[in-house]
Structure 1
Amino acid sequence: MSRNRSFLELCRCFRNDPPKAPDWLELIGLANQTLTTPHLIEIVRQRPDAVPADLAHCVETIFERNSQRNDRLLAQLGEALAALNARGITPVLLKGAAMLAESNRDRRGRRMACDLDLLVRPDEVEEALDCLIPIGYRVHDRSPPDVGKWWLDLGRANDVGMIDLHVSPPGPAFCHGALADLGSHCQRIKVGSGAAQIPSRACQAFILIMHDQFQDHDYWIGATDLRHLLDLRDLASTAGFDWKELASFTVGKLARNALETELTALHELLGVEVPLNMRRRIAPRLQQQRRMLQLRFPRLAPLLLATGLVDLLHYRVEAGSQRTQMEAHTLPRLFPRVDTIRSLLALLREKRASKI
């Protein structure tokens, strides 16, 4: 109950509507867990009377140090892009890298970034490595050979973050049918001494939601990524944000349900004016209620996994459209595999940074 109350009070702080006499230690602990502490700089600046002086000093210090870290990340990104550009490669910036590249310093200082996600074409991978290894990068980790999504982590000893190299947007392939030609939704942007392609803000929002909901399994286990909700708020608050474009990227019922679940949370928790037709359907509203219920009563979370059965048929149909010819002759399973359920239960027990 206390955790649920603190979460809602933290969201109120992000709406610049601080609660009366909150437990600030609990709130700052939750902000640290969700990687959102620098965002509290807004309430520290605008409502100094509402925040204890020692907490305000703590937030200001974290904000400034995060700003310095992001300055280094931005310089690192520009250097990597310049090396790639020299060989004719202009990658697409994904997630935090895109936001980092087009934000001013004050806005950058509010977001804690973990790494730099770059997308290149599959035929550019080897050449990209030939560009990055000579400037000090080494392969730190890579995707296992038996998974469908390819990625590669590259790091250097003195950098503050890694480069994550991708050849497709995050999330399952069936969610990205409308992004087959991702370049058509991008524009060229200058970053330091390099250049990259950056998706439209609506496209960035869609990629971020699909990453959380399916690659991180948040949709199935009922988790909320508050840091990314704040990212979505920032994207949606820009002039000319195209809600219709965002809706157009969903090519199936499952992706639409996941998208609208996140938009329902965005409206209810952070007060963003999401169009009514993108937050009024029953399934997304039930999913958001499930999120809040298990936050209030954590022991219900394993039982509430069953709510995923509402979308199991949609998943089978849409994922089945990607099956190979051989797999197409097999009957789809009615229920998830036992090892899938075990994996989801393990995720429920795991404490993941930025997730709640």
Structure 2
Amino acid sequence: MGRSATERLAACLNGDFSGNLDWFELVNTANEHFVAAFLSRSLAASDVQADADAEAYLETLETATRSRNRQMWTLTCEVVAALNAAGIVPALIKGASDMAARSDPAGFPRVMIDIDMILAPEDLAKGQEVLAEMGFAALEDSEDAHSPGSFWRQGAVASLDMHASLPRRISVLLDEEDWNLPPSGGLGAPSRLQLVTRDGARMWVPDASLRFLINISHDMLHHTALISGASNLRYLLVLAAQMQEEDAPLDWAWLRAKAAHPRFALALDLQLLMLAHLFGLRGPWPLPQGRLQQALHQRRLWKMRFPGLGRAEWACLQVGQRLSRPLRHMIWPPGRNPSVSRCI
């Protein structure tokens, strides 16, 4: 079976530009995964003679991405500094934390959609007052169970998502030694949150291993890629970079311990299988060979290679899930079986 467009793109991102390349397909697939800047850098590091229009387009996208991320970082530091002035030190998560962990935040090549930060619950009201004083207003219908909302002001390069906690499918994996964000005036450093001061702002940033866990959990569990079978290069590339980072090695023993949670164990196994398949990367233990892991991994590859059929399969699964929900509640009322409310 031939490689999919995603697999061909991954090869190029890994420096392998061999074969008869379809540059329109490569650029289009990179845009679908929000990784055009990664492709531009991989191309620049090679000696490949690319299609002139494709090369110029990719260079333009990378320049625009760098400019946007520079503005994103400036906005992040402006907001964090204002919160600091009110006695609040927020924790950055997701892409914002990946930027903060870099020596050059603007050089982070992934396209950022918004800025995510977490405040201690006791600081939420004061934090919203600070944002209001800066001209930010909550976007309509943006509030949810773990966030008072997404905030935006006229002219801002992106919205700011203020959270009271991590989503439950992520927070359930952590204990107080992993995540215990101090409120304003609080002392002590949680073991996996590091206090970082840069560009006039103080912020908590998850260490490399916690960022690795949040990346996998956010994509596979919170965004349900574990069920849908989706493969998102924008997440996989960040994981790949972390696995090769010598200055901030991953705590594999800690990650393995977190695999006591069955869903995270499966998500971790599937991402490691995909990282090995696409980029030739290996963790410190043998690749999973269980029937379930291999079946779900092959399903992801099948969905890559036949995207139309893959979308149809996922649509059918969603319909079946919706139709079965009333039946599940008839058989196991939520009050009698708390696990029902947590079904994927």
Instruction: Tell me the TM-score range normalised by the shorter chain.
Output: 0.7 to 0.9
Higher RCO (CA < 8 A, seq sep 6+): 1
Q: By percentage of residues, which structure has more helix?
A: 1
Once the two structures are superposed, the pairs formed by residues 83-122 of structure 1 within 5 Å of their partners are 83-105=82-104, 108-122=107-121
Partner of residue 262, structure 1: 271
Given the superposition, is the C-alpha separation of residues 86 and 259 from structure 1 closer, same or farther in structure 2, using an over 3 Å criterion?
same
Partner of residue 58, structure 1: 57
Gaps of 5+ in 1: 309-325, 341-356
Give the SS at the match of 2:109.
coil
Partner of residue 274, structure 1: 283
Q: Contact 2:170–2:218 (CA<8 Å) still a contact in 1? A: no
Q: Distance in 2 between matches of 1:284 and 1:181?
A: 33
Once the two structures are superposed, the pairs formed by residues 266-345 of structure 1 within 5 Å of their partners are 266-277=275-286, 279-297=288-306, 298-299=308-309, 302-303=312-313, 327=334, 329-330=336-337
Give the SS at the match of 1:265.
helix
Given the superposition, is the C-alpha separation of residues 162 and 107 from structure 1 closer, same or farther in structure 2, using an over 3 Å criterion?
closer
Once the two structures are superposed, the pairs formed by residues 169-180 of structure 1 within 5 Å of their partners are 169-172=166-169, 175-178=172-175, 179-180=178-179
Partner of residue 158, structure 1: 155
The answer to whether residue 243 in structure 2 is matched with residue 244 in structure 1 is: no
Q: Contact 1:64–1:109 (CA<8 Å) still a contact in 2? A: no
Given the superposition, is the C-alpha separation of residues 280 and 330 from structure 1 closer, same or farther in structure 2, using an over 3 Å criterion?
closer
Q: Contact 1:233–1:266 (CA<8 Å) still a contact in 2? A: yes
Q: Distance in 2 between matches of 1:96 and 1:89?
A: 21
1:288 deviates by 1.6
Q: 1:199 aligns with which of 201, 206, 231?
A: 206
| Worse overlay, 237-246 or 273-282 | 273-282
Q: Distance in 2 between matches of 1:307 and 1:284?
A: 19
Q: Distance in 2 between matches of 1:173 and 1:43?
A: 32
Q: Cα deviation per residue 1:222-274 (whole Å; 9 max; x = unaligned)?
A: 11111011111122221222222222333411221112111211121122222
Q: Distance in 2 between matches of 1:250 and 1:306?
A: 30
Q: Cα deviation per residue 1:152-175 (whole Å; 9 max; x = unaligned)?
A: 101111111111111112352674
Q: Distance in 2 between matches of 1:214 and 1:130?
A: 32
RMSD of the TM alignment (CA)?
2.8
Q: 1:215 aligns with which of 219, 222, 230?
A: 222
Give TM-score scaled by structure 1 length.
0.80
Q: Cα deviation per residue 1:19-59 (whole Å; 9 max; x = unaligned)?
A: 31111101100101110000012322222324223222221
Kindly provide the amino acid, as one letter, of the partner of residue 200 in structure 1: D
Aligned-residue identity in percent: 23
Q: Distance in 1 between matches of 2:131 and 2:338?
A: 45
Give TM-score scaled by structure 2 length.
0.83
Q: Contact 2:173–2:261 (CA<8 Å) still a contact in 1? A: no
Q: Distance in 2 between matches of 1:305 and 1:260?
A: 25
Gaps of 5+ in 2: 182-189, 319-332
| Worse overlay, 155-164 or 167-176 | 167-176
Q: Distance in 2 between matches of 1:109 and 1:79?
A: 19
Q: Contact 1:169–1:207 (CA<8 Å) still a contact in 2? A: no
1:328 deviates by 5.3
Q: Distance in 1 between matches of 2:163 and 2:105?
A: 28
Kindly provide the amino acid, as one letter, of the partner of residue 96 in structure 2: A
Given the superposition, is the C-alpha separation of residues 273 and 14 from structure 1 closer, same or farther in structure 2, using an over 3 Å criterion?
same
Q: Cα deviation per residue 1:279-323 (whole Å; 9 max; x = unaligned)?
A: 444433322211111222332555579999xxxxxxxxxxxxxxx
Given the superposition, is the C-alpha separation of residues 49 and 254 from structure 1 closer, same or farther in structure 2, using an over 3 Å criterion?
closer
Given the superposition, is the C-alpha separation of residues 107 and 286 from structure 1 closer, same or farther in structure 2, using an over 3 Å criterion?
farther
Give the SS at the match of 2:26.
helix
Q: Distance in 1 between matches of 2:14 and 2:263?
A: 30
Q: Distance in 2 between matches of 1:230 and 1:86?
A: 36
